[in-house]
Amino acid sequence: MPSHPIAPKHPHTITQHGQTRVDNYFWLRERENPQTMEYLRAEDDYQQEMTGHTLALQETLFKEMKARIKEDDTSAPEKLDDYFYYSRTQAGQQYPIFCRKYRSLDAAEEILLDQNALAEGRSFCRLGAYQISPDHTKLAYSVDEDGSEKCVLYVKDLAENRLLSEKIINTSGDVYDHTGIAWASDNQTLYYVTLDPSLRPDKLYRHHLGQDPANDQLLYHEADEQFFLFVSKSRSQAYIMAFSYAYAAGEWRILPADQPDADFTLFQPRQRGMEYFIEHHGQHFFVRTNLEAQNFRLMKAPIHATGLENWQEIIPHRAETLLEDMQTFENHLVLYERRDGLRQIRISGADGLSQARNISFPEPVYTYYQSGNPEFDSRLLRFYYTSLVTPKSVIDFDMEKDAWQVVKQDEIPSGYDPTLFTCERQFATAEDGTRVPISLLYKKGLPRNGQNPALLYGYGSYGFSQEPAFNASRLSLVERGFVFAIAHIRGGSEMGRAWYENGKMLNKRNTFTDFIACAEHLIGEGYTSTPKLAIMGRSAGGLLVGAAMTMRPDLFGAVIAAVPFVDVVNTMSDPSIPLTTMEYDQWGNPDDREYFDYLMSYSPYDKLRATEYPDILISTGLNDPRVAYWEPAKFTAKLRELNTSDKLILLKTNFEAGHAGASGRYDYLKEVAFEYAFLIDRLADPNP
């Protein structure tokens, strides 16, 4: 076996609360140090050498996954005013092409933006913001060119099919839902947010088209380092809304969209522990808040008197139902809720009370995802329905007729028969007796003899719930006899807000022990066994699997820790790192001795010890602004130093991407194929 890289030790002494610890690999933070890149390259060369025998399997998996996607495809068009907007993909091209048609789907196609053209000459290209002007004549969009999530903002004149002079750097564009820009009603004024040196969105600007960005007016600076600043537009299109967000508080400012040069007014001052979210409708705002309501309740406030003293309750707090989100329409109010671990949709009249009812879903275990629903005056609610066995379906629900229409369902060109698979929900019992849901997917008739390879996936942070959704690539594991399981552990919100609260701060260890309980349940019920059980998580999910592995290295056969947040104490002690200050309300501030001791009790980097560890694949992105590359690199180096087994320890670095990995759809599939080849190679028969 080739010898693995050995990172040099450069002792770095850290003293906190009277405790001194030595970090031999702290130097890996020095990106400009030639030794750092030398080590990362050596690790990447080593992982390529150690996985070289799986190249044929990777190619097989990639071809399987590629065959399951419709390469020439078109999204379900979405109507807004006189236009139908959609995107499409072409075989062989990595990125979507954004288009529209005027008044009729039979009209000529107008290409608004071809992301493939934007990506020419680049190994990475992800859209940040993407916003059409109210009169549909202009497109404001931003591009993240290296995975750092620092976006460059452009404006395109759609009538003349040319870029305007605007080029605004260092903007915050949400690369996940393409928000981050708002247009005023005059179609000439834009609002955008820029980033501070730690990549925190903190300054809101107003820009008039044609104006030198250096002269743009600063409207608001969010000085509190625990808050991130966002800008959006109300669904009614009547207000520009600036949102200062921290995990334990929020604060909104509003400006009439038809008064672009007016000042923003404060909606309700922030209060520690009080979260609130607003949406405009007519002469009032709806307010979703946790004020005296752990699972949130619905209030409303007059548009000219928005302070807390004027809020009126519409729907009270419900112990069994978490109110997650809302969308206003001209004649309807839609509430997105969660009950008994499953997502619900509540529809009512515009008052939030009349004709209230829930949409019925066809499967016992399922989920949905919200759509933007850009048209305010519409009777159709669009959302995306899916389950572990049902491909994503675009649903248009007629809110007046209560009629469900499947507009489009993802096709599996290579063939797919859902009746060949079993989807079920089980419950594990945690250390404290709590019942923890597990969603399972496997081939029908699979024996429970403990010999099946299994992949247990989890996240369990920030209140984000892991949804039981379809994933076509996952079939490459399940068809080879894998059991796929999702652990719905505390730290998410699957079972309500308390589920989240009991998995954060000084309750964070519940997340990891819940996950371990789920693993033990799968083994105890005969689905798999320790040598056949793999665990996987990304980002905070990487912390999850890192913590589970350091607590119970004897329990798992393999681990995939993707962009893992594993150097918890050092990161949370450094406010110069992006996200740190905002996340004190998730993990705790180690300047406080109680939180320092608690973080030290589970921080994977600090809990590594000399013992036998399972096979582990660790990945990172060199430009990652959320979990810096050095956390996975340091973890790998220390793990190599202390591991007493002969199992594989691999670090894969994407030198041209950030937190989300590859931006192109084929490149992304190749990353998944690499991970799955690792699992199959370590746990299973490579032939299905």
Distances (CA, A) of 547 to 76, 376, 516: 42, 45, 10
Helix, strand or coil, per DSSP, at residue 473:
helix
The reported pLDDT for the residue numbered 1 is: 60
Phi-psi label, residue 442: left if phi above 0, alpha if psi -120 to 50, beta otherwise: beta
Structure tokens at 237: 């299109």
Model confidence over 433-442: pLDDT tens digits? 999 999 999 9
Residue 493 a catalytic site member: no
Q: Which residue has the higher pLDDT, 658 or 227?
A: 227
CATH 2.130.10.120 intervals, the chain: 277-411
The reported pLDDT for the residue numbered 272 is: 93
The reported pLDDT for the residue numbered 58 is: 97
Pairing mode of beta strands 403-409, 393-398 = antiparallel
Task: Give 215's contacts (C-beta < 8 A, 6+ positions apart).
Answer: none
- Please state the rounded mean pLDDT for residues 434-451: 97
The reported pLDDT for the residue numbered 663 is: 86
Helix, strand or coil, per DSSP, at residue 38:
helix
686 pLDDT more than 70: no
Long-range contacts for 20-24 (Cβ within 8 Å, ≥24 apart)?
21/606, 23/570, 23/634, 24/637, 24/638, 24/641
Residue 53 a catalytic site member: no
The reported pLDDT for the residue numbered 174 is: 76
Candidate from 50-54, 110-114, 657-661 with smallest mean pLDDT: 657-661
The reported pLDDT for the residue numbered 576 is: 85
- Please state the rounded mean pLDDT for residues 176-186: 85
The reported pLDDT for the residue numbered 653 is: 96
Distance from the first to the final alpha carbon of the chain? 28
Single out the catalytic residue among 146, 624, 663, 681.
Answer: 624
pLDDT band, residue 591 (cuts 50/70/90): very high
Helix, strand or coil, per DSSP, at residue 596:
helix
Structure tokens at 106: 């039979």
Task: Give 439's contacts (C-beta < 8 A, 6+ positions apart).
Answer: 365, 388, 423, 424, 425, 468, 485, 486, 488
The reported pLDDT for the residue numbered 3 is: 80
pLDDT band, residue 176 (cuts 50/70/90): low
Helix, strand or coil, per DSSP, at residue 523:
helix
The reported pLDDT for the residue numbered 143 is: 95
Average pLDDT across the chain, whole number:
96
E strands, 399-517, where?
A: 403-409, 421-429, 435-443, 454-457, 483-487
- Please state the rounded mean pLDDT for residues 415-433: 96
Model confidence over 470-519: pLDDT tens digits? 999 999 999 999 999 999 999 999 999 999 999 999 999 999 999 999 99
CATH 3.40.50.1820 intervals, the chain: 12-66+421-683
Q: What is the 3-state secondary structure of 61-92?
A: HHHHHHHCCCCCEECCCEEECCEEEEEEECCC
- Please state the rounded mean pLDDT for residues 619-647: 95
Please tell me whether the overall predicted TM-score, pTM, comes out greater than 0.85 for this model: yes
Single out the catalytic residue among 23, 659, 663, 681.
Answer: 659
Q: What angle separates helix 665-683 from helix 55-67, to the nearest 10 degrees?
A: 130
Single out the catalytic residue among 539, 603, 619, 663.
Answer: 539
Residue 142 a catalytic site member: no
For the domain 12-66+421-683, what is the CATH code? 3.40.50.1820
The reported pLDDT for the residue numbered 266 is: 98
Model confidence over 261-280: pLDDT tens digits? 999 999 999 999 999 999 99
C-beta of residue 565 within 8 angstroms of C-beta of residue 577: no
For the domain 277-411, what is the CATH code? 2.130.10.120
Distances (CA, A) of 649 to 97, 556, 561, 613, 634: 40, 14, 11, 9, 13
Q: pLDDT exceeding 70 applies to what percent of the chain?
A: 99
